[in-house]
A = this chain, B = another copy of it.
């Protein structure tokens, strides 16, 4: 074909022009007035983390690692590791530090010199019957018998109660049941017993042991002997005991601290760092006012048999084969004998260490998601706390693998391995005291596991209400470790949990306990106002009405117990680690924080509802109560409105606007902080959370509006009604102001 034809020329020219203009057009289109491109990090900043990686994380958490020799419970439980010992503060600290360094971005050790307490190794504590001539008979066991053979028992610490005052005292024995305030009031009011100078024999259970000692001292006792009754530790004729079953044998003794405060008692409110000012040990009043030491029930029955006095009421009876009597003193031929208490427990300054492992957040490194567990144990600690420690080590490894695959969370994650929890939450408290200014501003939540597994019936949890939703949604993602439950159609941890204990105000939610004090979350919640959770897998609380698993704080909390009796195959440990990991990853990854303020309203309404109930019972008081509580109730109503508004805002927020997101997230964090009163709860300034501080008569308990609850306690029987109601009014005022503050932070401009 000849190229010169007009048609061809037309076509060629047209094509050439077209190509030329096409290219020019593209270039113009691309560059002329083109918008600036969005930087890559900007997109990342506005996107939730990949939720598929949550599945990967869960797969990474393996049972064999939790139990294996290297990074597992086996390593932690091989030897005793009491706080302040070389095993605990050197070998295990180094191990944890190296593991964190290996798997995470970095790790750091925080050391504190603090007051710790020990029994005298060469002069053990004991109790005995002292005859009139001074001879001691029926001397209690000074060491806990060795049972099972799976560990190195050479450094087991003999039974003692930490921070007992040392002392040798004699007196008439009295049996004081659980040593609650009600028990002592019964003896003094109903039985008109004079307890001055007596030795109180109290069974473990129901309340914090330190409060038993406090009550005994208040009523004039000269000393306290604590023991574990089969009714609480070898229930219902279960005489198959450790090492054949999980029940406590008669030789087993529960150790434990009686310290009434948290953290180093020599440096209240400040951290025990190099520059610390230490109180003189002689000047502090936190050591127990009277000596105390614990014994097993093989010993206790010997003294109970001798007791004189009237029979106790049925609720006071334990399950030892003896007639429980009140005392005081012994029956013939021992009517002139006394009970003797020989306590050489001492306190001294030693170093305790926290190991912190870090994953640095990509977009908000200054927002911290903290997970924590303590490392120290009274003896082998296979349940308390090494079940939790192993779960955390595995979690660190699993998160480390995600990091290697390129994942990095939006926010920072910190793995906190605490020292000296058993002595009085000392490692975690000193750390929070040291870092209060950063944690107070930056911590999103603290997720605690102390004991990971103490049974295999169901999950239980305590939490601040803003984490209820996250807890439930996360538990729905974790597969049920119990095949029988799965066979019943309960596929997830959540299903069994809900079936076991539905909440009384929302049947779609499982019961979640109020969180107050008792493990390492305390300082986070009470000093800094940081949202907290505490989770564990537990035994059936319906089948066993006991205060703790039977071998708690005894020398029989061993690897054999856990691997042979409590969690063969470590599936329950795995489930807890998974739940823990899912919660941490969700909080660290999602653009909007998973802090849900709507649950607070339901929780806070509990208090007015209880007051209303009381009013129905006693119509005379109606007017007084209405006047006093009117404002609190109206503020609560205001709170509910703020909460609705915030909830609305959250649904309308522009996820892609990083400052808008940050602002709302900050407000959600501020809500919990708003409940902190820097002056503390009346009479207990170390607790600062006006909603969830522990109850006055049991540090393990938790009540809402503790100041108000304390002020109202037994108010009907007080002779000075005017003064008492003034105290109530003052507490109402504090509570109302707190609610007002918390409603305020939900606005962006005040």
Stretch at the interface among A299-307, A571-579, A729-737: A729-737
Q: Which of A408-447 contact B (CB under 8 A)?
A: 412, 434-439, 441
Q: B441, A670: Cβ atoms under 8 Å? A: yes
* A136 close to B (CB within 8 Å): no
The reply to whether B270 and A733 contact each other, CB–CB distance below 8 Å, is yes
Q: Tell me if B18 and A365 are in contact (CB < 8 A).
A: no
Task: Answer yes or no: A663 CB below 8 A from chain B CBs.
Answer: yes
In the complex, how many angstroms separate the beta carbon of A17 from the nearest chain B beta carbon?
4
- State in angstroms the CA–CA spacing of A10 and B5 once bound together: 11
Selected from B659, B733, B745, the residue in CB contact (under 8 A) with A276 is B733
Tell me, rounded to whole Å, the shortest Cβ–Cβ distance linking A441 to chain B: 6
A639 to B274, CA, bound (A): 16
A61 interfacial by beta-carbon distance below 8 Å? no
* Residue in chain B with minimal CB distance to A367: B663
Check A23 for interface membership: any CB of B closer than 8 A: yes
CA A662 to CA B662, docked complex, whole Å: 9
In angstroms, Cα B270 to Cα A218, docked, is 34
Q: A275 at the A/B interface (Cβ < 8 Å)?
A: yes
A437 and B38 form a contact (CB under 8 A): no
Residue of A7, A439, A662 contacting most chain B CB atoms (<10 Å): A662
Q: Is A360 within 8 A of B750, CB to CB?
A: no
Instruction: Specify the main secondary structure of chain A where it touches its partner.
Output: helix
A674 at the interface (CB under 8 A from B): yes
Residues in A720-750 with C-beta less than 8 Å from chain B: 729-730, 732-734, 736-737, 740-742, 744-745, 747-750
Q: List A1-53 residues whose CB lies under 8 Å from chain B.
A: 6-7, 9-11, 13-31, 34-39, 41-43, 45
A434 to B366, CA, bound (A): 28
Contact of A666 among B21, B441, B670, B674 (CB under 8 A): B441
* A275 and B364 contacting across the interface, CB-CB below 8 Å: no
Name the distance in Å between A682's Cβ and chain B's nearest Cβ. Answer: 12
| Copies of chain A in the complex | 2
Residues on B with C-beta less than 8 A from A366 are 663, 666-667, 748-749
Contact B36 A38 (CB under 8 A): yes
In the assembled complex, A363 has its CB within 8 A of some CB on chain B: yes
Tell which of A7, A22, A742 has the most Cβ of chain B within 10 Å: A22
Q: Are B14 and A25 in contact (CB under 8 A)?
A: no
Q: Is the CB of A18 within 8 A of B15?
A: no
Most buried by B among A15, A30, A274, A745: A30
Does A657 have its Cβ within 8 Å of any Cβ on chain B? Answer: yes
Which of B13, B30, B729, B749 is A277 in contact with, Cβ under 8 Å? B729
Determine whether A358 belongs to the interface, using a CB cutoff of 8 Å to chain B. Answer: yes
Residues of B within 8 A of A659 (CB): 45, 363-364, 658, 662
Check if A678 is an interface residue, CB within 8 A of chain B: yes
Task: Note all chain B residues with C-beta closer than 8 A to A276.
Answer: 733, 737
Within the complex, the shortest CB–CB distance from A748 to chain B, in Å, comes to 5
Judge whether A179 is part of the interface by a CB distance below 8 angstroms: no
B22, B30, B43, B365: which contacts A30 (Cβ < 8 A)? B30
Is A273 close to B, CB under 8 A? yes
Cβ B435 vs Cβ A275 within 8 A: no
Query: Do A273 and B15 contact each other (CB < 8 Å), given the known contacts A25-B22, A25-B29, A437-B744?
Result: no
Residues in chain B near residue A28, CB distance under 8 A: 25-26, 29
Q: A34-B34, A36-B38 are in contact. Are A741 and B436 (CB under 8 A)?
A: yes
A106 to nearest B CB, angstroms?
9
Contacts of A435 in B (CB 8 A): 744, 750
Are B663 and A275 in touch, CB under 8 angstroms?
no
The reply on A325 being an interface residue by CB < 8 A is no
CA A16 to CA B21, docked complex, whole Å: 11
A19 surroundings in chain B (CB, below 8 A): 21
Closest B residue to A20 by beta carbon equals B18
Minimum Cβ distance to chain B for residue A698 (Å):
26
Contact between B10 and A438 (Cβ–Cβ < 8 Å)?
Answer: no
Q: Does B275 lie within 8 Å of A737, measured CB to CB?
A: yes
A537 at the interface (CB under 8 A from B): no
Does any Cβ of B come within 8 Å of A632's Cβ? Answer: yes
**A435 to nearest B CB, angstroms?**
5
User: Chain B residues near A585 (CB, 8 Å)?
Assistant: none
| Bound-state Cα–Cα, A568 to B277, Å | 58
**A729: which B residues are within 8 A, CB to CB?**
277
Contact present for A679 and B269 (CB under 8 Å): yes
> What 1/0 flags go to A668-712 for Cβ under 8 Å of B?
001001100011000000000000000000000000000000000
- Which residues of B have CB within 8 Å of A737? 270-271, 273, 275-276
Chain B CB within 8 A of A631 CB: yes
Query: Bound complex: CA of A17 vs CA of B45, how far in Å?
Result: 44
Residues of B within 8 A of A733 (CB): 270, 275-277
Quote the shortest CB–CB distance from A369 to chain B (angstroms).
12
- Give the residues in chain B near A25, CB-CB below 8 Å: 21-26, 28-29
Q: Does A635 contact B (CB under 8 A)?
A: yes
Task: Give chain B residues whose Cβ lies under 8 Å from the Cβ of A730.
Answer: 277
The residue of chain B having its C-beta at the shortest distance from the C-beta of A11 within the complex is: B13
* Cα distance A732–B270 in the bound complex, in angstroms: 13
Interchain nearest-CB distance for A196 vs B (Å):
36
Determine whether the beta carbon of A734 is less than 8 Å from that of B631.
no
Q: Which residues of B contact A656 (CB under 8 A)?
A: 39
CB neighbours of A732 from chain B (8 A): 275, 277
Contact with B along A365-402 (1 / 0, CB 8 A): 11010000000000000000000000000000000000
Which chain B residue lies CB-closest to A271?
Answer: B737
CB nearest neighbor in B for A278: B733
Contact for A673 among B412, B437, B679, CB less than 8 A: B437
Write out the residue numbers on chain B whose beta carbons fall within 8 Å of the beta carbon of A35.
Answer: 35, 37-38
Output the least CB separation between A326 and chain B (Å): 44
Chain B residues with CB under 8 Å of A29's CB are 25-31
A567 to chain B, nearest CB (A): 35
CB atoms of B657 and A748 under 8 A apart: no
Residues of B within 8 A of A748 (CB): 365-366
- Determine if B749 and A365 form an interchain contact, defined as CB atoms under 8 angstroms apart: yes
Question: Which residue of the partner chain B has the closest CB to A630?
Answer: B275
Q: How far is the CA of A276 from the CA of B730 in the complex (A)?
A: 8
Q: Which of A17, A436, A670: most chain B CB closer than 10 A?
A: A17
Residues of B within 8 A of A750 (CB): 435, 438-439
Q: Per a CB cutoff under 8 Å, which of B14, B26, B269, B437 touches A741?
A: B437
Q: A275-B635, A438-B745 are in contact. List 7 more A-B contacts (CB 8 A).
A: A24-B25, A30-B34, A269-B679, A365-B663, A437-B670, A437-B745, A678-B679
Pick the 8 closest A-B CB pairs, nearest first: A25-B25, A29-B29, A35-B37, A6-B6, A277-B733, A678-B678, A275-B736, A26-B29
Q: Can you report 9 A-B residue pairs in the complex whose CB atoms are below 8 A from each other? A: A10-B10, A14-B16, A25-B28, A29-B31, A30-B30, A38-B38, A45-B659, A275-B740, A358-B749
